[in-house]
C-alpha cells in the first residue's frame, strides 16, 4: 500500500469528531472509527516517509528538526483572530495531558510527537507570514499524528478534550455575555467566571453584564495605581507646609462626567470614578498641607503624560490579580473604580448605653451594609434586661433587643445592591445577660444575620482554672459597674460548649490574647473589644480594615525530578507588592461614614493573609497535620508578617507612618507579633531585632499588617483551597437525574492519574469514605498520609494549625475547628481550653450534625459511625506534654490523649463493615471546598438572594456554592 492520500487522516479525524458529538452512543462509534483508522495507519506507516527526520530519538529529533527548519513556525492565529508567538511547549504539554489521561505519562514521547506536529506544519507550508496556522489547524494535526503513531486511545482522549474545551468556551461566552474570549477569560475556569459574573462584573440598568473580567481587574488596578501618582515627588511632600486651594479641587466633583475617559496614565484611561477618587485624595492631601501643586497643575501633569511611568505599577497590580497570586477583598473588586467606591470589608461600630447614639450606630450600620461591608458590635455596654430606665421610669429590654434592630436593618439593606450584610454580635462574659445571649441562637430563626461570640477576659480565665476549686465569677451592671450576682465560671463555659455543640454558636473571643501585644491601647484610650463578622479582624469603634489574600498554591516551581518546591523569592515579591496595594486602598477608599475615615486613616490597618495552603501542601507532598507541615506553615506565617511589616516601613520612609504612630508602643520597640516574644529567637527565620530598630527610626505605615480572612468566594475565583483550612473532601459525588458524577480536588486528581489510579471505581470508594482516602487499600500509604481532609484531622490538630499561624499573624485567623458528630460537649469545652493556652484570639467550633440540615456530611447517612479512627498527631501530643503549664488545662488535655490515643504515624485501616453510601453533595465543580460546609437550618432563610440556590455555611459565613454569594464581606 502506498502513501495515504493527502488530508485523508484529517478527514477520518473529522468523521470521528462528528460521531463523537452527534451520536447518542458516541463511545461505540469512536471505538469503531479508531479500529478502522488504526488498521489503515499500521499498513500506511510502512510507506509514509518521515522526510529524513529522526523523530523517534528523543531530543535528537527536536534538534535535527530545528536545525533543518530554523524558526519558520513562529506565529499562530488565535480563535479571536490575534496572531501571537508560537510556543512548541504548548503542543507537547497538550499531548502529555492526553497521554496521562490514558495511563501513559511519558513526557519525552510527548516531545517527540510535538516534533512530528511541527514537521507536518512545515510540510503543509505553514511558517510564512501569509500561511499562519490557526489553533484549530494545529489541534487537527495533533490528532493526525497521534493516530499515525498508533496511539488510538490517546487520540480519543485528545478529541474528547477538544470537544469539552469547545463546550467550555461556549459556556464561558454565555456566562460573560460575550462573542469571543480574551486571554483573561481563557485563563480562568468556568466556575471562577460564574462567580465573577454573578457578583463582581458591572451591569447596566437592564442587569446585563457590560464588563469583562479583564476590564474589572484593570478598573481595580488603575484605582490602586492612582494612589502612587498622588505620592509622586512632583506633587507630594511628606514634610507638609504647602497651602493649596482644596475648594478649587472640590468643584471638580460637579464635573465628573466631563472627565470620564478623558485622562490616562500611560495606556490606562481613567473613568469618572477614578477621577473622583483622584479629587478626593487631592483634597485630603491639601488639607494636610502635603500637596506641592494645585489640582489644575496635577491635571496638567497627567494630561501631558508626566505620570505615564506609573502605568508600569498599574500593570504590576493588574498582573498580581489576573495571575491569581493575590486577590483583594470582595468590596474592592466590586467597587474600585465604580459608583460606590467603598473598598473595605470590615467595620466595627460601638453601641453605647444612650438611645441617640444607639440610633446613630444603627443608621451607620445601614450605610455600611449598603456600601458592601460587614459590621461587628460589642453590646456589653448596654444595661441588662430589667434594669431601670430613669427617663421613662421603665425597665430596659437588654442587649439582645437592640441586636434585633441591626438584624432587621440587615434584612432590608443589601450590601452594594448585591448581598445581605453580615454581623458579629459580642457580649462579654461579665454581663448579667450572658446566659441568655449564649443560648439565643439555639432557637431556629433567631438572629439569622449574626454570628455571635462571647468575649472572655483574663479574670474569667483565672476563675475558670482556679486551683482552689472556687470558680465563682462576678457579673456586673455595665451602667453602674456594680456587682449584680455571681455564677460558676465552669458552668458558664459548659453552657457555651453545649450551645456550640448543638448549633455551632456562639464562638469564643479571647480579648486577653487579642490585647496582649496591642501597641495602641494607650493611644486609643483602651483595649480592643470587638471584631468584624468572622472574628479574624479586631477593630476599634468606627475603624475599618481592607483585606487581601495571597494564593500560596501558585508559588511553586517544578524541579528536575518532577517534584515541586516553594518559590520563596516570588512569595516575597508578592507580599511586598500586596502590602503596597492594600495601603493604597486606604487612600483611595470612599468611606461610608466620616468617623470611619478619620479612625481608619489614624491607624492605617491592613490585613494581608493567605489562601490555598491545603493545595500547596498537596503539591509539596507535606501532610497538613505533621511536624513538617506545622514547621513549614510556621515559616510561611513568619514570612508574611515580617515582609509586610518591612515593606510597611519602606512605605513610611516616603509617605510617613500612620498618624497615631508616635503615641503607640511601637516607639518603645514593641510589635503586635506574638511569635517574636514567645518562640525561641534561634528558631526565627528573619532578623526581627533589626526590623524593630528600623520601625523606631522610620516609623511604620500600617499599625497591623496581617490577617487571615475567610476566602470563600475569593478561593472560588482563584480556584484554590480556602484560607488556612484543609480540604473538606477530596472527592464529592453529585447525583442528578441523568446519573452521577464526581468533583475531585485538582491536585489529587492529577496525582491519581500520574500513578495510574484514576477511575470511576476509585472515585466512588473515596466519595463513600466521606471524601477521604484513609484506609482505602488501593491508595498507597504515602498518598493516604499526604492527602488528608478536614475529617482526617483531629480537632487538637486543627487548633494546633491555627495556633502555628497565630504566633506570627498580627491580627487573627478565620478558621473552623472541625469535629465529627460523635464528640461530646466536653470535647468542645476542651477545645476552648487548648485554644486559649496556645494563644488563639478566637475559636469557632463546628461539630458535624450540629445544624438541623446539612448538604455535606462527615459521617455520612444513617448517623453512621466512622469507618476509620482519627487521633491527635504525635506532634500535638508532644507539644501539649512539653508546653502546656496550666495544671487544669494540662490535666484535661492529657485525659483526652489517654482516652483517644495518639496517631503513631501509620495509616489506620478501615473497619470491615462497609461505609454508608456517600451523601448527595450539591456542590459546583471546584478544585477544593471549605473545611466546614453545612446548609442553614431549615427554619432559616436558605435561599441565595442572587441565584435562588441553597445557601451553606462555611467559616461562619453564609455562602452559595453555585454562584459564590457570601454574607461575609471579606470573601
What does R_g of the chain's alpha carbons equal in angstroms? 30
CB distance 517 to 658 below 8 Å: no
Surface-to-core class of residue 470, CB atoms within 10 Å of its CB (0-12 exposed, 13-18 middle, 19+ buried):
exposed
C-alpha cell at 757: 489510579
Residue among 802, 585, 601 nearest 708 (CA): 802
CB distance 510 to 842 below 8 Å: yes
Three-class DSSP category at 495: helix
Rounded CA separation 842/802 (Å): 10
**Helix H or strand E segment including 154:** helix 152-176
Rounded CA separation 91/105 (Å): 15
Rounded CA separation 431/353 (Å): 13
Could you identify the residue written with the cell 477530596? 730
Residue among 757, 767, 768, 820 nearest 792 (CA): 820
- Give whole-number Cα distances, 769 to 30, 749, 763, 895, 928, in Å: 34, 16, 10, 29, 17
Beta bridge partners of 483: 476
End-to-end CA distance of the chain: 64
H, E, C per residue of 607-643: EEEEECHHHHHHHHCCCCCCHHHHHHHHHHHHHHHHH
C-alpha cell at 816: 473552623
Torsion of CA 885, 887, 892, 897, to 10 degrees: 50
Known catalytic residues are 532, 534, 536
Beta strands in 423-512 (DSSP E): 423-428, 450-456, 472-476, 483-488, 507-510
* Number of residues that make up the chain: 971
CB distance 261 to 271 below 8 Å: yes
Positive or negative torsion for Cα 475, 476, 477, 478: negative
CB distance 442 to 503 below 8 Å: yes
- Give whole-number Cα distances, 82 to 86, 140, 165, 178, in Å: 12, 19, 19, 17
For the range 936-945, what are the long-range contacts, defined as Cβ-Cβ under 8 Å and sequence gap of 24 or more?
936/448, 936/851, 936/853, 937/444, 937/445, 937/851, 937/852, 937/853, 938/444, 938/852, 938/853, 939/444, 939/445, 939/852, 940/444, 940/445, 940/448, 941/448, 945/414, 945/419, 945/420
C-alpha cell at 391: 427617663
Could you identify the residue written with the cell 510507506? 47
Three-class DSSP category at 186: helix
Beta bridge partners of 544: 347
Rounded CA separation 172/193 (Å): 7
Rounded CA separation 334/342 (Å): 9
What is the CA 308 to chain-centroid distance, rounded?
Answer: 33
CB distance 455 to 378 below 8 Å: yes
C-alpha cell at 827: 470535647
Amino acid at each position: 500500500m502506498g502513501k495515504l492520500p493527502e488530508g485523508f487522516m484529517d478527514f477520518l479525524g473529522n468523521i470521528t469528531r462528528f460521531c463523537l458529538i452527534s451520536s447518542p452512543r458516541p463511545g461505540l462509534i469512536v471505538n469503531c472509527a479508531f479500529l478502522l483508522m488504526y488498521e489503515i495507519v499500521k499498513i500506511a506507516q510502512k510507506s509514509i516517509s518521515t522526510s529524513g527526520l529522526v523523530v523517534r530519538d528523543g531530543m535528537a529529533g527536536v534538534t535535527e528538526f530545528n536545525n533543518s527548519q530554523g524558526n519558520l513556525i513562529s506565529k499562530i492565529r488565535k480563535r479571536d483572530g490575534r496572531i501571537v508567538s508560537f510556543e512548541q511547549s504548548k503542543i507537547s504539554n497538550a499531548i502529555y495531558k492526553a497521554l496521562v489521561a490514558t495511563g501513559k505519562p511519558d513526557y519525552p514521547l510527548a516531545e517527540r510527537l510535538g516534533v512530528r506536529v511541527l514537521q507536518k506544519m512545515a510540510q503543509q507550508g505553514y511558517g510564512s507570514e501569509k500561511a499562519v496556522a490557526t489553533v484549530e489547524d494545529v489541534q487537527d494535526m495533533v490528532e493526525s499524528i497521534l493516530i499515525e503513531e498508533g496511539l488510538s486511545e490517546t487520540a480519543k482522549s485528545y478529541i474528547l478534550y477538544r470537544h469539552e474545551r469547545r463546550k467550555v468556551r461556549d459556556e464561558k461566552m454565555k456566562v460573560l455575555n460575550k462573542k469571543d474570549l480574551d486571554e483573561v477569560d481563557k485563563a480562568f475556569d468556568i466556575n471562577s467566571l460564574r462567580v465573577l459574573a454573578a457578583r463582581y462584573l458591572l451591569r447596566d440598568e437592564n442587569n446585563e453584564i457590560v464588563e469583562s473580567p479583564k476590564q474589572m481587574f484593570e478598573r481595580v488596578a488603575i484605582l490602586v495605581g492612582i494612589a502612587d501618582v498622588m505620592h509622586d515627588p512632583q506633587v507630594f511632600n511628606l514634610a507638609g507646609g504647602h497651602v493649596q486651594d482644596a475648594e478649587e479641587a472640590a468643584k471638580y466633583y460637579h464635573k465628573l462626567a466631563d472627565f470620564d475617559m478623558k485622562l490616562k496614565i500611560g495606556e490606562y484611561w481613567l473613568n469618572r470614578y477614578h477621577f473622583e477618587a483622584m479629587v478626593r485624595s487631592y483634597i485630603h492631601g491639601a488639607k494636610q498641607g502635603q500637596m506641592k501643586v494645585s489640582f489644575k497643575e496635577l491635571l496638567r501633569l497627567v494630561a501631558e503624560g508626566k505620570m505615564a511611568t506609573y502605568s508600569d505599577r498599574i500593570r504590576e497590580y493588574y498582573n498580581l490579580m489576573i495571575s491569581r497570586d493575590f486577590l483583594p477583598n470582595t468590596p474592592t473588586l466590586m467597587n474600585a473604580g465604580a459608583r460606590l467606591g467603598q473598598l473595605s470589608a470590615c467595620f466595627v461600630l460601638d453601641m453605647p448605653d444612650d438611645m441617640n447614639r444607639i440610633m446613630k450606630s444603627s443608621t451607620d450600620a445601614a450605610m455600611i451594609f449598603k456600601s458592601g461591608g460587614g459590621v461587628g458590635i460589642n453590646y456589653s455596654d448596654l444595661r441588662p434586661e430589667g434594669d431601670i430606665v430613669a427617663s421613662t421610669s421603665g425597665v430596659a429590654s437588654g442587649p439582645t433587643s437592640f441586636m434585633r434592630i441591626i438584624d432587621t436593618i440587615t434584612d432590608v439593606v443589601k450590601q452594594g445592591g448585591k448581598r445581605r450584610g453580615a454581623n458579629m454580635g459580642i457580649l462579654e462574659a461579665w454581663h448579667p445577660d450572658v446566659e441568655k445571649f449564649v443560648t439565643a441562637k439555639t432557637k431556629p430563626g433567631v438572629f439569622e444575620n449574626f454570628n455571635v461570640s462571647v468575649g472572655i477576659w483574663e479574670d474569667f480565665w483565672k476563675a475558670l482554672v482556679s486551683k482552689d476549686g472556687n470558680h465563682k465569677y462576678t457579673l456586673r451592671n455595665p451602667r453602674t459597674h456594680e456587682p449584680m450576682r455571681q455564677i460558676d465560671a465552669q458552668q458558664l463555659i459548659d453552657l457555651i460548649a453545649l450551645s456550640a455543640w448543638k448549633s455551632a454558636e456562639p464562638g469564643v473571643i479571647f480579648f486577653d490574647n487579642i490585647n496582649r501585644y496591642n501597641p495602641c491601647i494607650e493611644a486609643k484610650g483602651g483595649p480592643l473589644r470587638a471584631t468584624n463578622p468572622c472574628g479574624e479582624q479586631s477593630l476599634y469603634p468606627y475603624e475599618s480594615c481592607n483585606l487581601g489574600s495571597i494564593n500560596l498554591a501558585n508559588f511553586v516551581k517544578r524541579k528536575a525530578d518532577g517534584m515541586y518546591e516553594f518559590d520563596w523569592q516570588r512569595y516575597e515579591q508578592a507580599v511586598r507588592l500586596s502590602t503596597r496595594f492594600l495601603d493604597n486602598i486606604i487612600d483611595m477608599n470612599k468611606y461610608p461614614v466620616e468617623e470611619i475615615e478619620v479612625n481608619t486613616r489614624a491607624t492605617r490597618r491592613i490585613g494581608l493573609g493567605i489562601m490555598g495552603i491545603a493545595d500547596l501542601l498537596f503539591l509539596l507532598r507535606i501532610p497538613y497535620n505533621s511536624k513538617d507541615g506545622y514547621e513549614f506553615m510556621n515559616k510561611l506565617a513568619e514570612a508574611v508578617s515580617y515582609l509586610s511589616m518591612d515593606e510597611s516601613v519602606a512605605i513610611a520612609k516616603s509617605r510617613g507612618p500612620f498618624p497615631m504612630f508616635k503615641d503607640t508602643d511601637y516607639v518603645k520597640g514593641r510589635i503586635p507579633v506574638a511569635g517574636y516574644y514567645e518562640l525561641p529567637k534561634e528558631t526565627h527565620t528573619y532578623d526581627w531585632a533589626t526590623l524593630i530598630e528600623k520601625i523606631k527610626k522610620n516609623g511604620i505605615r500600617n499599625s497591623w499588617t496581617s490577617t487571615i480572612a475567610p476566602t470563600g468566594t475569593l478561593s472560588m475565583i482563584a480556584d484554590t483551597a480556602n484560607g488556612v483550612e484543609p480540604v473538606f473532601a477530596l472527592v464529592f459525588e453529585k447525583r442528578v437525574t441523568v446519573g452521577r458524577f464526581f468533583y475531585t480536588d485538582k491536585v489529587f486528581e492529577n496525582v491519581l492519574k500520574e500513578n495510574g489510579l484514576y477511575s470511576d471505581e476509585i472515585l466512588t470508594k473515596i466519595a463513600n469514605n466521606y471524601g477521604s482516602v484513609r484506609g482505602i487499600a488501593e491508595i498507597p500509604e504515602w498518598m493516604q498520609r499526604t492527602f488528608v481532609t478536614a475529617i482526617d484531622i483531629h480537632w487538637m490538630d486543627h487548633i494546633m494549625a491555627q495556633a502555628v499561624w497565630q504566633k506570627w499573624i498580627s491580627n487573627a485567623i478565620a478558621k473552623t475547628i472541625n469535629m465529627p458528630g460523635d464528640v461530646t460537649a466536653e470535647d468542645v469545652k476542651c477545645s476552648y481550653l487548648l485554644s486559649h493556652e496556645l494563644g488563639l484570639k478566637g475559636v469557632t467550633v463546628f461539630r458535624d450534625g450540629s445544624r438541623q440540615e446539612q448538604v455535606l456530611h462527615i459521617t455520612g447517612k444513617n448517623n453512621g459511625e466512622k469507618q476509620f479512627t482519627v487521633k491527635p498527631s504525635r506532634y500535638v501530643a508532644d507539644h501539649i506534654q512539653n508546653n502546656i503549664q496550666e495544671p487544669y488545662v494540662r490535666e484535661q488535655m492529657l485525659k483526652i490523649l489517654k482516652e483517644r490515643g495518639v496517631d503513631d504515624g501509620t495509616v489506620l485501616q478501615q473497619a470491615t463493615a462497609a461505609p454508608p453510601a456517600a451523601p448527595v453533595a450539591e456542590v459546583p465543580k471546584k478544585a477544593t471546598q471549605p473545611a466546614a460546609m453545612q446548609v442553614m437550618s431549615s427554619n432559616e432563610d436558605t435561599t441565595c438572594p442572587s441565584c435562588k440556590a441553597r445557601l451553606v455555611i462555611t467559616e461562619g459565613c453564609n455562602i452559595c456554592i453555585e454562584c459564590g454569594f457570601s454574607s461575609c464581606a471579606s470573601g
